[in-house]
């Protein structure tokens, strides 16, 4: 990220109970600051998806899609908004006043940096969801929710739904991206090796190394998948020992 300081200034925090009203306002541009593998399985209705593969790409996306221009009134700079805005907002690509921006991410941390960045570039009204998507899904009833899909999380659950109930996605151990049941039925899916989202990016050599690694995991009984590396418990090891091995250990 550029030289921005969330410690010095960040956007205005908006609680889950006020979020729906803010993002339903047609004058608000809603931006999802997460990465494409996260937004692919769920996002807020009408949100702009920057389609980044890493949070480091976000500043470049802002520069490209919000082009600051000089005006006679320095108190009210204007921007050109790229056509990636949701159709329902009907925002044209001509010069217009700096838009009100509402941003969100999984837990709120990335938004502190992202809102600080926009403020440093002259945006005046910058808001972000306090506690992130997780707090929203925890507090807002599903019947009132504007969230669509599931939320990717960086733990064994892989994804969660309203009420933070574990979702339906699994993890591809080849690329660490979420995969659906349909993805796992695809010919490109191979457990521990690849999925439809990474198959084309992996060379044959990389896939063969992944297969060899997977065979080692299966042979030596490592539990929890290739990214866990947790071996069986002592009780399991004792059960699997041969009698002469057990006697020598006493």
Dihedral angle over CA of 188, 189, 194, 200, nearest 10? 20
Considering the domain architecture, whether residues 116 and 197 belong to the same structural domain is answered as no
pTM of the model: 0.75
Q: Is 48 helix (H, G, I), strand (E, B) or coil?
A: strand
Decide if 126 contacts 119 (C-beta within 8 A).
Answer: yes
- Asked if 151 is an active-site residue, the reply is no
Is 202 within the bounds of a domain?
yes
- Print the domain residue range for 202: 169-240
Count of domains for the chain: 2
Do 118 and 179 belong together in one domain? no
* Residues 51-106 pLDDT 10s: 999 999 999 999 998 875 433 333 444 444 454 455 444 434 433 567 899 999 99
Which listed residue (51, 105, 172, 234) is catalytic? 105
User: Is residue 1 a part of any domain in this protein?
Assistant: no
Per-residue pLDDT averaged across 200-211, rounded? 95
Distance (Å, whole) CA 216 – CA 211? 9
What tens digit of pLDDT does each residue of 136-156 get? 999 999 999 999 999 999 999
- Domain containing residue 51: CATH number: 3.40.250.10
Mean pLDDT (the chain, rounded): 82
For 14-50, write each residue's pLDDT tens digit. 999 999 999 999 999 999 999 999 999 999 999 999 9
Q: For 150-190, write each residue's pLDDT tens digit.
A: 999 999 999 999 999 999 999 999 999 999 999 999 999 99
The conformation of residue 20, written as its DSSP 8-state character, comes to H
CA angle 148–152–156, rounded 5-degree value: 140
In a domain, 155, yes or no: no
210 and 101 housed in the same domain: no
Q: What is the Cα gyration radius of the chain?
A: 23
């Amino acid at each position: 990220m550029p030289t921005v300081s969330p410690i010095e200034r960040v956007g205005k925090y908006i609680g889950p109970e006020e979020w729906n009203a803010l993002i339903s306002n047609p004058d608000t541009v809603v931006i999802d600051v997460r990465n494409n593998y996260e937004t692919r399985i769920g996002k807020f209705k009408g949100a702009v998806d920057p389609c980044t593969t890493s949070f480091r790409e976000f500043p470049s996306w802002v520069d490209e899609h919000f082009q600051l221009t000089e005006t006679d009134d320095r108190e009210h700079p204007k921007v050109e908004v790229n056509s990636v805005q949701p159709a329902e907002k009907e925002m044209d690509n001509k010069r217009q006043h700096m838009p009100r921006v509402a941003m969100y991410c999984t837990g709120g941390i990335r938004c502190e940096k992202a809102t600080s960045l926009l403020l440093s570039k002259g945006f005046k009204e910058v808001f972000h969801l306090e506690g992130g998507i997780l707090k929203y899904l925890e507090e807002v009833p599903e019947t009132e929710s504007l969230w669509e899909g599931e939320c990717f999380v960086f733990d064994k659950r892989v994804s969660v739904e309203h009420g933070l109930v574990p979702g339906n996605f699994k993890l591809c151990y080849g690329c660490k991206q979420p995969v659906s049941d349909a993805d796992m039925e695809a010919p490109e899916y191979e457990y521990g090796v690849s999925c439809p989202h990474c198959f084309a990016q992996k060379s044959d050599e990389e896939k063969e190394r992944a297969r060899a690694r997977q065979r080692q995991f299966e042979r030596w009984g490592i539990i929890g998948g290739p990214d866990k590396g947790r071996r069986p418990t002592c009780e399991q090891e004792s059960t699997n020992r041969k009698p002469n091995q057990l006697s020598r250990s006493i």
